[in-house]
Amino acid sequence: MLTTTTAAPRFDVLFGAHARLEPADDGVRIWARGANVVLRAPGEALSRALARLADGGATEDALTAELLLSGDPAALFSLVGILRFLDERGALQRRALLDERPLATLTPASSRFRFDAAAAVEGSRKLSRFAYLRTVDDALCVESPLGSATVELHDARAAAVALALARPCSRDDLDAQFPELAGAPLAALLTLLENARALVDADDAEGAAPPDGGSSSDWWEFHDLLFHMRTRRGRHDAPYGGTYRGNSGAPPPLVKPRLAGETITLPRPYAGTTASANEERPFTAVLHERRSLRTYGPEPLTIEQLGVFLYHAVRYQAVREGDGFEHAVRAAPAGGALHELEVYPVVARCRGLDPGVYHYRPLEHELTRIAEPSPLFERLLDDAWTTANRESPLNVYFQITARTRRVFWKYESMAYALILKNLGALYATMYLVATALDLAPCALGGGDSELFAALAQLDPCEEPAVGEFVLGSRA
């Protein structure tokens, strides 16, 4: 039977990055995430306590003892008020010490964070499957998408405790394994990890089996929850939205530079094309008739149908200048009008167009033929055919990529989420245009980005494949 150690955790409190002390008229001003309070004539003891908070920190006990001894009881009330002011704005750090040297520091990631000094660290605990370690500005940090704080590990022994916590450990196990940290330092480290929501009960199944009355996070996979929490606001106060983080210059151009390869001018609507390519249904009928269709007619898609489809769904109708950069007008909306999405028709069967990989030039309404059929080309089409339920042999598969830097240049925290939302808007437009033209459209839910990067010779970080869509003649 395990016994538990009862040493109480001890922390220093100190100003976080969002707190600042500055001189004000006959006193000091304390800033916390944009809010401030002014203390008039704070007195020597309180000034010293504030200076310690701003530079290095001290335990709350040490600060209060000093103020009590100073014979200025009002100063004690002021300090308690200031600590609360900082804490309620997520501007106060807590630091665990080992032999007066930093062991680990908790920094709130949001003003919603509330520190619980009594957070349970008894019993057997382990790292949550959502907890992760990463470097931030040369520091090693533990975080969790379920939490709202970062714990920086300053000492290799703190990192070793995190390693031990990959498996369930009681306080006694840890005290025995790390005698130099035993007692208060270990208690403080565990309390910090607990406050960052990095620890769970040892017997917490954490989604190991399909939940049956379990916790609401059980169904989430690690990467989905991190992506969700980090690309929305609420659990972090990181710069968010259109911050123009690439302030250093202009974004990559709206129109992707022309790739090497033969140019094919595509047919346009109402320009001597076949009647079927121009037979459009009323919009309300399109809305009612739109379906995912994977079975094609005996005759494949024609270059006229492909041209008219791309003309309505993907072409740039106009290019505008605004805020010092170019943006496009397109049937599909796009965040910031940046239009980072590129469309590559991968043609298996299309009357009037040789099989191969093409890049669509949305301004000129042209194709550039960038790759011949090859084993990689066959694999890509085979994967797509499998994803589309293996109904008809594919006609045209659209690989959609994102020129990420156009979006990363402007947006922060939510840039990739925005790309996927733009993709959804493009999918919807492609569905509706295909339905209006009496074609068979179907979006696909995923694909092999590395395969397309190899086929089209694209850098998978610069311009990754993010979406896929198939189109054929209607049965």
Binding mask 437-466 for ligand FMN (x = CB under 6 A): -----xxxx---------------------
Nearest residue to 311 (alpha-carbon basis) of 358, 359, 364: 364
Q: Does 291 bind ligand FMN (CB under 6 A)?
A: yes
Name the helix (H) or strand (E) containing 157. helix 156-164
Q: Report in angstroms how near the CB of residue 64 gets to ligand FMN at its nearest.
A: 58
For 455, phi then psi, to 5°, come to -70, -45
Q: Report in angstroms how near the CB of residue 391 gets to ligand FMN at its nearest.
A: 8
Closest CB to ligand FMN among residues 309, 316: 309
Q: Report in angstroms how near the CB of residue 355 gets to ligand FMN at its nearest.
A: 22
Q: Report in angstroms how near the CB of residue 283 gets to ligand FMN at its nearest.
A: 17
Q: Please pick, from the candidates 70, 124, 217, 292, the single residue that binds ligand FMN as defined by CB under 6 A.
A: 292
- In order of 132, 139, 215, the CA distances from 219 in angstroms are 18, 31, 8
Q: Report in angstroms how near the CB of residue 401 gets to ligand FMN at its nearest.
A: 16
Q: Please pick, from the candidates 58, 98, 153, 388, the single residue that binds ligand FMN as defined by CB under 6 A.
A: 388
Name the helix (H) or strand (E) containing 321. strand 316-322
Closest CB to ligand FMN among residues 23, 445: 445
Tokens of 124: 């057997």
Which residue's beta carbon is nearest to the bound ligand FMN?
Answer: 445
- Total residues contacting ligand FMN (rule CB under 6 A)? 11
Question: 43 to 102, contacts with ligand FMN by CB under 6 A?
Answer: none
Q: Does 278 bind ligand FMN (CB under 6 A)?
A: no
Q: Does 427 bind ligand FMN (CB under 6 A)?
A: yes
Q: Does 419 bind ligand FMN (CB under 6 A)?
A: no
Is 466 exposed, middle or buried, given 0-12, 13-18 or 19+ CB atoms closer than 10 A? Answer: buried
The one segment of 175-183, 286-294, 306-314, 368-376 that binds ligand FMN by CB under 6 A? 286-294
Q: Please pick, from the candidates 124, 387, 429, 449, the single residue that binds ligand FMN as defined by CB under 6 A.
A: 387
Q: Report in angstroms how near the CB of residue 349 gets to ligand FMN at its nearest.
A: 18
CA dist 255 and 468 (Å) reads 21
Q: Does 385 bind ligand FMN (CB under 6 A)?
A: no
Q: Report in angstroms how near the CB of residue 18 gets to ligand FMN at its nearest.
A: 39
Scanning the structure block, which residue is given the tokens 């890049």? Answer: 359
SS3 257: coil
Contact by Cβ (8 Å): 235, 145: yes
Closest CB to ligand FMN among residues 409, 431: 431
HEC-encoded secondary structure of 4-56: CCCCCCCEEEEECCCEEEEEECCEEEEEECCEEEEEECCCHHHHHHHHHHHCC
CA 225, distance to chain mean position in Å, is 9
Listed in sequence order, the residues at least 6 apart from 436 whose beta carbon sits closer than 8 Å to its beta carbon are: 280, 281, 283, 286, 312
Closest CB to ligand FMN among residues 110, 429: 429
Q: Report in angstroms how near the CB of residue 373 gets to ligand FMN at its nearest.
A: 23
Q: Report in angstroms how near the CB of residue 446 gets to ligand FMN at its nearest.
A: 7
- In order of 94, 122, 414, 452, 453, the CA distances from 459 in angstroms are 42, 49, 21, 10, 6
The one segment of 124-132, 134-142, 382-390, 399-407 that binds ligand FMN by CB under 6 A? 382-390
Sign of CA dihedral 108, 111, 113, 116: positive
Closest CB to ligand FMN among residues 253, 446: 446
Nearest residue to 441 (alpha-carbon basis) of 329, 309, 262, 255: 309
Closest CB to ligand FMN among residues 338, 440: 440
* Residues contributing to the site for ligand FMN (CB under 6 A): 291-292, 294, 387-389, 427, 442-445
